[in-house]
Structure formats: structure tokens, C-alpha cells
Amino acid sequence: MWANGLARRVGAKVPPSPQRRPRNLVIVHLDGVAKTLLDEAIVAGRMPFFSRLVRSGTFHLEDAFWGAPTSTPYFQAGLLYGMRHSNLPAYSWYDRELGRKVQMNTPADALEIDQRLRGAGRTSLLDGGGHGYFSLFRAGANNALNMSTLASFKLMARSFSYEFMGLSAARTRSTFSYLRSLGMDTWHAAREVRHWAHSVQDWRHEQGFLMSRVLLQRLGWSFAHTKALVDMVRGVPAIYLVYGNYDEVAHRRGPRSRLALEELHRVDAYLAELYAVARTVERPYDVVILSDHGHVDSLPLEKRQGRRLEQWLLEAPACGPLSEDVVRGLCDGRARPAEDTAPRAPFAPVVMECGNFAHVYLTGERQPLEARELLARFPEVLARVTRSPEIGIVVLRRGASAVAVVKGGVYGPDELDRAPLSPEFSKRALADFLRVLPSMTTAGDLVLFGEAVQRGGTVGFAWEFGSHGGLTRTEANSLVAWPADAPVDLSGLGHCVQLHERLAETYLDPAPSLRLVL
């Protein structure tokens, strides 16, 4: 009844979408939610609506593996564009082509990368009239509510009236009630931030986190959710809605913190509204619910050692020579290189602390260094990272492939069964990362992954208490849920590109093809 009433109100105020496809699609992206965590939330009663969908057989729910790195940019490039080799190594990195650091929460950087992906000539799931909300990339969407479009004030100003179309008709509470609720949420968030910062004796991210709680997680998500309801009444053919609240909280407070788990309960109510409208409108929608990665507990290196990774890596005294076993494994039958002291243009090494993994750029050259070059030019850095008990895996390029150094041994992607990895790590994710690294020129000369130091937790290189992008089983444990009566089968997926292909085949008309890029 509620959905019928909303559809009538909105339909009287807004025109129908001019674009049509054979079937309509809504993708709800639960950022950072591991499948095991969702299972626990269902059993504990934190997601009663979603639980009913799955237990009644209305929805299928399965584990999924999207590839490595387990980060949002890599996943969205695969989901939206169908790109397996998107050259996106993390959420932030040093871009050799641009000669500077890039961060995906910087609109100008997101726009730069979106244009790079768009220029590859692939059709997006949002081409032809789709809408996206809180995605990093616009990816051909008709609307402009994503990170990359925030870089253009002119574009945002032009889209202002379009984005607010139908919003007042779709609101689900009075203005006074909403403002009262927002005020209470702000007050509770401010108190929580004060208590947390006092307990850890660190305020560096708390101001930004408080702003995120109020502006993004409350105002922003409410706006995007309401707009998605309007879109369904209008008949927008494809809607991509990213729920980033859980991910934001998990980074700052941990993946199983009280605040993070509360977000799962909150999104469950939103899912109920989306599903009700999706089944009520004249042209019903298939609702696909998925996550891009899981979150693992992160124990900051700075808290453990009293200094950040960059200080330890570049300023700490020598820790002994490089192991001969590592040297032989990196040379792989080739002659050991002589020391290389040739003069080169000065370059200050860049260490990108990306959570529980880090990219280390030792030169400013356009091409990353290979194992023998690292042995010749930076043997002391190799010795430090391969001997450290805080680092579980060191990944680097060897010839045309890549290898992982684990506890003094060197292993290729087909040799990981004999690697002494902690059970917390996923050999499947590590093998996938080793296979993709040679094509990922934006990745560091060295990629470091924090050691597993407790069950469900690893050393973290950034100051955060929940991390992703690494190679643990939890981070690689994603999920996908889809209606049992939908004309698509999303079971058994082993990469985000396969997800794109199955959705494109069913919901894009005509079937996707390469675009000519001039």
C-alpha cells in the first residue's frame, strides 16, 4: 500500500523516462560487507527483511569472488565496464603516467580515471539512460551523483534541477521529523567521536569522520535512496546505488563494531522500501544485491611500532643482508646482478599506505622495477621488507610474471600450495593478484601485505581499524543475491568481469559491444 501511494504521488509529478530496455535493473552495492558478516547479521536478526527474502526462496544468495585487489575502484571498473585489466591497484596510488599521487575520494582524480576507463572503448551497464548514485565513476550515467562529476561545478550546476526532480513527492517523512532525526543523529555522532578519539588518543581522522556521518551517511544516502525510488517510478532502465555507510564506519571503528553493525540494520529497512517499489511500479525491476569485498580488522603499524611504514622502511637502520634463498628465487636461474650505482634523476620514494597493504614506488620511472633491478639498486629495502615480522607477503615482478615472498621463500601463482601462508590469507586471491600484477603498471615496485596477527585481523599500514584491498579470506569473501524469478543466473562467479557479462547479456539492449574511440 505504501509503495502504491508513493508511485501515484511521484508519477503525477515527474515524466516517464524516455529510455527503455527489455527488463529494468536495480543494483544495490553494499560496500565492504563480507558474505560471512551478512550471514551472521541474518542469523542475529539484524537484517529481518533480507532474511525473509532469502529464507523464503524469493532470492538466491551466494558467495562470490571478484578478483584482486579487493578494492572498490577495481571492482567498479569490472562491474560497470567489464574490464579485467583496469590498472587500478588500490583506492589511492602513485600514478606514473600523471607523475603524482591519485586518490579516488578526490573528485578531480576520479574524473581523470573515469575518462581513462571510458576511453578504453567498452560499453557500460549504465549506458543508454542508466543512473548511478555514489559510484566512483559516472560510466555513462545520465545523472551526475558520483565522485567523478563532483570535479565539475558547471556540470553539477547544470544537473541541479534534474537531480531534485520528484524529490518532494517521494519523501517518506515530514520536514520537521527529518530535521529532528538529523539533529539527534548529529548529537550522538559528535559524542561518539569525542569518546573514541579520547580512548585512542588520536584525532587525525575524527573531524572528517563526523562530517561523513552527517553529510554523507545521513543526508547523502537519504537523498540517493529517495532519488532511486523516483527513478523506479519513472522507469529509468538501470539504477546503480552504492550504500557506502558500512564501509565508512568499518574503516574508522572496525568491521564488527557496534556502529558498523547498526548500518546493516539500517540498510535492511531501505532494502524493504526499494524492493516494495521495484515490485509495484508499472515496469517492475529485478533487484540485485551485492558487495565488492569484505573488511578485516586492522591493527595499525604505527600503534604497534610507534612509527609509520614510510619512516620504518626508508629511515630505519639496516636489519641484515638479504637472504640467499630469496636472491636465488628472485633471479630464477639468471645471474645475480652487480650493484647498480649509476647516477639518475633524484626521486623521493613514495609509500602509499592503502590500509593493510601498501604500494612502494622507489623510482619515478614510467615502468616499474623488475626483481633483478631491485636486487641491483635497492637490496637493503628488499632485505628489510622480507625480514620483517610485520609483513606477511611481499609481491614484486619477476621477468614477465610476478612472485610472492613469504617467510623467506619465493613462490609463483602456481606454487602457492607449498607456501607457508597464514590460514587467514586466501591463496586464490594471492594467485589472482600475481597474475594481474604484470599488467598493472600503476602498482608499486613492491606491494606489501600486513601479516595476520590474530584471527580475522592483520597489521595495517594506514591509521584505520578496518581494512580491505588485501588478500585475506575475509576481504575476498563477497556476495551476490538476485531474484529467483529473474532471467539471469549469478551463481558460481569467479570474477567481477563475469558479473558484468551476465548482467549485460540480460539487461543491455542491444548486447554490449566495443565502442569506437577516436
Q: Kindly report the average pLDDT of the chain as a whole number.
A: 92
Q: Output the pLDDT for position 220.
A: 86
Q: How confident is the model at residue 517 (pLDDT cuts 50, 70, 90)?
A: very low
Mean pLDDT throughout 347-362? 96
Give the model confidence (pLDDT) of 472-495 as tens digits. Answer: 999 999 999 999 999 999 999 999
Give the model confidence (pLDDT) of 391-440 as tens digits. Answer: 999 999 999 999 999 999 999 999 999 999 999 999 999 999 999 999 99
409 bridge partner residues: 406
Question: Same structural domain for residues 31 and 133?
Answer: yes
Question: Grid coordinates representing 124?
Answer: 557500460
Question: Same structural domain for residues 376 and 412?
Answer: yes
Question: Grid coordinates representing 403?
Answer: 612472485
Give the model confidence (pLDDT) of 358-381 as tens digits. Answer: 999 999 999 999 999 999 999 999
Residue 513 has pLDDT above 60, yes or no: no
Does residue 342 sit in helix, strand or coil? coil
Q: Which residues contact 195 (CB under 8 A, 6 or more apart)?
A: none
Q: Tell me whether residue 84 is in a domain.
A: yes
Give the model confidence (pLDDT) of 89-140 as tens digits. Answer: 999 999 999 999 999 999 999 999 999 999 888 899 999 999 999 999 999 9
Question: Same structural domain for residues 261 and 190?
Answer: yes
Residue 514 has pLDDT above 50, yes or no: no
Asked if residue 124 lies in contact with residue 139, where contact means CB atoms within 8 angstroms, the answer is: yes
d(CA 172, CA 5): 11
Residue 161 has pLDDT above 80, yes or no: no
Question: Same structural domain for residues 380 and 272?
Answer: no
CATH number of the domain that 71 lies in?
3.40.720.10
Angle 416-422-423 from CA coordinates, rounded to 5° = 90
pLDDT over 90, % of the chain? 77
Q: Tell me whether residue 516 is in a domain.
A: no
**Domain region containing 397:** 299-467
Q: Tell me whether residue 517 is in a domain.
A: no
User: Which residue, among 262, 265, 287, 249, has the nearest Cα to 32 in the 3D structure?
Assistant: 249
Mean pLDDT throughout 335-339? 93
Question: Same structural domain for residues 414 and 444?
Answer: yes
Q: Tell me whether residue 482 is in a domain.
A: yes
Residue 372 or 163, more confident: 372
Question: Same structural domain for residues 285 and 367?
Answer: no
Q: Which residues contact 89 (CB under 8 A, 6 or more apart)?
A: 69, 74, 359, 440, 442, 443, 444, 447
Residue 450 has pLDDT above 60, yes or no: yes
Does residue 516 sit in helix, strand or coil? coil
Asked if residue 234 lies in contact with residue 14, where contact means CB atoms within 8 angstroms, the answer is: yes
In angstroms, what CA-CA distances link 229 with 65, 131, 265, 407, 508?
30, 12, 20, 52, 21
Across 139-153, 164-178, 192-206, 446-460, the highest mean pLDDT is recorded for: 446-460
The model's pTM: 0.93
Q: Output the pLDDT for position 215.
A: 80
- Structural domains counted in the chain: 2
Q: Output the pLDDT for position 516.
A: 41
Residue 318 has pLDDT above 80, yes or no: no
In angstroms, what CA-CA distances link 384 with 6, 321, 361?
61, 9, 15
Mean pLDDT throughout 46-74? 96
Residue 502 or 155, more confident: 502
Give the model confidence (pLDDT) of 264-299 as tens digits. Answer: 999 999 999 999 999 999 999 999 999 999 999 999
Question: Same structural domain for residues 219 and 349?
Answer: no
Nearest 5°: phi and psi at 467? Answer: -135, 160
Q: Tell me whether residue 110 is in a domain.
A: yes
d(CA 238, CA 79): 13
Question: Grid coordinates representing 398?
Answer: 619477476
Question: Same structural domain for residues 321 and 210?
Answer: no
User: Which residue, among 70, 52, 69, has the nearest Cα to 61 in the 3D structure?
Assistant: 52
Q: Tell me whether residue 36 is in a domain.
A: yes
406 bridge partner residues: 409
Q: Output the pLDDT for position 173.
A: 67
Question: Same structural domain for residues 303 and 240?
Answer: no
Question: Same structural domain for residues 111 and 225?
Answer: yes
In angstroms, what CA-CA distances link 442 with 87, 94, 157?
6, 7, 33
In angstroms, what CA-CA distances link 263 with 195, 259, 485?
19, 7, 28
Place of cell 558500512: 246
d(CA 479, CA 292): 8
In angstroms, what CA-CA distances link 168 with 31, 216, 270?
28, 19, 18
Q: Tell me whether residue 514 is in a domain.
A: no
Residue 84 has pLDDT above 50, yes or no: yes
Question: Same structural domain for residues 32 and 52?
Answer: yes
Does residue 363 sit in helix, strand or coil? coil
Q: Output the pLDDT for position 316.
A: 67
Q: Which amino acid does the sequence have at 427? A: K
Residue 158 has pLDDT above 80, yes or no: no
Question: Same structural domain for residues 177 and 40?
Answer: yes
Q: Tell me whether residue 405 is in a domain.
A: yes
Nearest 5°: phi and psi at 270? Answer: -65, -40
Q: How confident is the model at residue 510 (pLDDT cuts 50, 70, 90)?
A: low
User: Which residue, among 266, 270, 274, 250, has the nearest Cα to 31 in the 3D structure?
Assistant: 250
